[in-house]
Structure 1
Amino acid sequence: MIRIIKIVLASLLLLCLLDMPYSFFQLVRFVSMAGFVFLAYTANENNSKNEMLLYVLLAILFQPFEKIALGRELWNIVDVIVALFLLITLKRK
């Protein structure tokens, strides 16, 4: 289940590099927040506090309610870094 969530999140974040409608980015924010909250919960259950903290911070960054305006270019960089992180953690475990 965790593998699927990480693959879906990484795929969505990489799709953000394309010219998509604004509603897609809103959907990505909701899905990302929910996915990172779930990953934080499972990391907490596995007593991985550092990983849990990172996922909580990512959930806050991607949450759709009080948007953090970074600009398109910076968001693209963040999306790629987070997607790569998620894919790398698939290999680690």
Structure 2
Amino acid sequence: MYTSVIIKLILSILFLICLFQLPYGYYEFVRFAALVGFAWLGYRAYQKGNFKAAFVYGALALLFQPLLKIALGRTLWNIVDVLVAVGLLASLFLGTEKSKN
């Protein structure tokens, strides 16, 4: 299976689980996983010459990074989590990446 597909699926699941009331440590883990996952996706997109996708993944890595937290409030973070999860899943079904990772 493709690495990017696995990363997108895992991140989507993690973001959707964020909709539940969980310990704060889970959200910290998701932020770290998102940073690593989006950095990898951005790197792969850049290697393939897809600079728009690389920019989007880089921006998402910065949004979710755990060091300098962006305080959006729980409701807004839930909206962001759902939008990003849906975007990641849509990118899988729309076939935005055609080659092997």
Q: Which runs of 5+ in 1 are unaligned?
A: none
Instruction: Tell me what 1:10 maps to.
Output: 12
Size of the aligned set, in residue pairs, is 93
- Normalised by the length of structure 1, the TM-score is 0.99
Distance 2:52 2:94 in 1: 15
Q: Comparing both structures, which one devotes a greater share of its residues to helix?
A: 1
Give me the identity figure in percent: 46
Compute the displacement of 1:92 (Å).
1.6
State how far apart, in whole Å, the 1-side matches of 2:75 and 2:93 are: 28
* Aligned-residue offset at 1:64: 0.1
How far does residue 89 in structure 1 lie from its aligned partner after superposition? 0.2
| CA root-mean-square deviation | 0.4
Superimposed CA distance per residue, residues 22-67 of structure 1 (whole angstroms, 9 cap, x where no aligned partner)? 0000000000000000000000011000000000000000000000
Q: Which runs of 4+ in 1 moved over 6 A?
A: none
Please give the TM-score of this superposition, normalised by the length of structure 2.
0.91
The offset of 1:10, in angstroms, is 0.3
Which of 64, 73, 76 is the equivalent residue of 2:75? 73
Q: What does residue range 1-93 of structure 1 map to in structure 2 within 5 Å?
A: 1-93=3-95
